[in-house]
Chain A
Amino acid sequence: MANFDQLSAREIAAGVANGDFTAVEVARAALDAVEARDGEVKAFLQVSADLALAAAEATDKARAAGEKLGPLAGVPVAFKDNMHLVGTRTTCASRMLANYESTFTATCVQRMLDAGATPVGKTNMDEFAFGSSTESSAFHPTANPWDTERVPGGSSGGSAAAVAAGEVTVSLGSDTGGSIRQPASLCGVVGLKPTYGAVSRYGVVAFGSSLDQVGPFGRSVEDVALAMNALTAGGRDPWDSTSQPVDVDFLAHLNDPVEGRRVGVVPALMEAAGLTDEVRDAVAAAGRALRDQGAELVEVDLPNIASAIAAYYVIAPCEAFSNLARFDGVRYGYQERGCATLAEQTSLSRAHGFGEEAKRRQMLGAYLLSSGTYDKYYYPAQQVRTLITADYARAYEKCDVILMPAAPRTAFKFGEMSDPTQMYASDLFTISNNIVGNGGVSVPLGLGAQSGLPVSAQLQGPAFADASLLTFARAIERSFSPDGGAPVAPAFAGKGGELA
């Protein structure tokens, strides 16, 4: 029989529903694959075998009872370790939360489970999602399945790597400045950051509350669409004030033709400093592929996008400082022992519980929010946000989506990007969409001509046009992935995971 890593989410759900195999068999295959592959990939911080088998058994029982199964019935999924799931720890890859037991389940996780998914485990990340390489995890780095001497990107590096290595079919990540799209690009999988508000943030440990958005990884656009249907089923989440209803079937429009539709290209971005030739060429090829399918390429301008990084590195640290203030070692989290006063306990718990980058971001935020400084940086950054939002609105009068790179280069080696501010600058292509709240998706374009590593294009769209983004992503996939999706990284494909 086949290895489960060769099956799409739709094929697994259909196979379980039809009785070709059971959900428990798929769960065992996935756990077996994790066993065989994760020693090297290290995508997981925690494998929830008991929860996975219990969920799969429930799915099989439901089928035996003649109940209608969910669209993700039996599909092995992994969750970034900033998402709560009762029965697991939620560590945010931080010493601060090393022993934190989830006291409730995040809405996004619950919706995946409600759709029948099998929860295989929690994945590694940059500590509290601060980073682009997953190297700032307090526990261990995660390897890129395409070259294990390289990073998987970040901050959702574990979720991207788990899908790229074929350990799970679908995973969830969170994207505050590119943390889904950039690791998807570096790992050669599809990663969607939906429009802000499309997926509930309730139960996802916050980094930048006005920037964070949860989204799925998959090896195909269809798998991502299937996950989006599950994540948006049931309408808006009443527990998240910024949640909005998404009343669209993401699968229904997947194979709509792109003929006659307009794809924006920003010439200045294609000349950006740091963008490698192989990425630029591949993205240009993606544009040609869309044109070949009848789409029209139009030039658009985003004049203020160069300031997006500056605006982001004001807003994100301020929100991070505020969101992480609650980690004082009192109600939960690392607590320094033997302190005589509360002030000492708080300062030492935070000093020793947080890693370097988490401390840096909070310090920067605490400075930028201080009185006097607020008017110099925070307020103007939010005004620049208005200008960037207006830039995009004008661009979308001329096009349906905008095509650009997701990351300026392919996966880099461990330790190669040691200067934090240099790392910040690499978020150039992804950050602006978090600033304005729009959706964006990374689509694999195969391997780079020079590096031989995965290269991706990014498509960005207007607010709540995420289904349309997937239509264009599918069009690119048709040209670049004739098999209907990206391959499992060859070093790991077929290692364990055989469906018994």
Chain B
Amino acid sequence: MPLTREDVAGIADYARIALTPEELDEMTAYMNDAIDLLEPIRAYDLEGVEPTFHPIGDLSNVMADDVPDTEVRHLPVDVALKNAAASRDRSFRVPSILGDQGGDR
């Protein structure tokens, strides 16, 4: 069943991408075209086939030592903030989150 305009509006809301009504129409058409392209995946019988999430062969257990780096990768606060559109008191600044619902952790 193809995605409806409302379905796509819900996804856009989740993905935090505001779409105009015209964009929503185009996006709905695109999404359904793209999903059609994916049909071969659903035609398979994949019983017992392990997924490959990482194309890295047997590589596993990659870890780093618990040793502080305060020089090489550390960013001074002015560099950390230099690409931010809004900052204050050494911090990144955002407007009120009133009306937002943050996720739980």
| Complex A–B touching at CB under 8 A | yes
Chain A residues engaging chain B, CB cutoff 8 angstroms: 99-101, 103-104, 196-197, 210, 238-239, 241-242, 244, 306-307, 309-311, 313-314, 317, 321, 328-335, 339-348, 350-351, 354, 359-360, 362-364, 366-367, 370, 376-377, 379-387, 389, 420-421, 424-425, 435-437, 463
- Residues of A contacting B33 with CB < 8 Å? 420-421
Minimum C-beta distance from B35 to chain A (A): 8
Other-chain contact of B11, A313, A367, A436 (Cβ < 8 Å): A367
Question: What is the chain B residue whose CB lies nearest that of A100?
Answer: B83
The complex places the Cα of A311 from the Cα of B55 at a distance, in Å, of 14
For the complex, would chain A's binding face be called helix, strand, loop or mixed by DSSP majority?
helix
By a CB distance below 8 angstroms, the chain B residues around A332 are 83-84
Other A-B pairs beyond A345-B95, A386-B52, 10, CB < 8 Å: A101-B82, A103-B83, A196-B55, A210-B53, A311-B41, A314-B41, A331-B92, A344-B95, A366-B14, A384-B46
Task: Look across to chain B and name the residue whose beta carbon is closest to the beta carbon of A343.
Answer: B100
In the complex, the number of residue pairs spanning A and B with C-beta atoms less than 8 Å apart equals 176
Chain A: minimal CB distance from B14 (Å): 6
B55 CB → nearest A CB, Å: 3
Q: Is the CB of B42 within 8 A of A380?
A: yes
- Taken together as a complex, chains A and B put the C-alpha atoms of A339 and B16 apart, in Å, by 14
Judged by a CB distance under 8 angstroms, whether B49 is at the interface is yes
Between A and B, 25 residue pairs with Cβ closer than 8 Å are A100-B83, A210-B53, A238-B64, A306-B40, A307-B40, A307-B41, A310-B38, A330-B85, A330-B92, A331-B83, A333-B83, A333-B85, A334-B85, A335-B85, A341-B95, A343-B99, A344-B95, A345-B95, A348-B18, A363-B17, A384-B41, A386-B50, A386-B51, A386-B52, A435-B55
Mark B21-55 against chain A: 1 for CB-CB distance below 8 A, else 0: 00000010011011111111110101001111111
**What residues make up the interface of B, taking CB atoms closer than 8 Å to A?**
3, 8, 11-19, 27, 30-31, 33-42, 44, 46, 49-57, 59, 62, 64, 73, 75, 79-80, 82-86, 92, 94-100
* Residue of chain A at shortest CB distance from B38: A310
A335 to chain B, nearest CB (A): 4
Contacts of B35 in A (CB 8 A): 364, 367
**Min C-beta distance of A96 to chain B, whole Å:** 11
In the bound assembly, the distance between CA atoms of A453 and B63 in angstroms comes to 48
B85 touches A383 (CB 8 A): no
Contacting residues, chain B, for A344 (C-beta < 8 A): 95
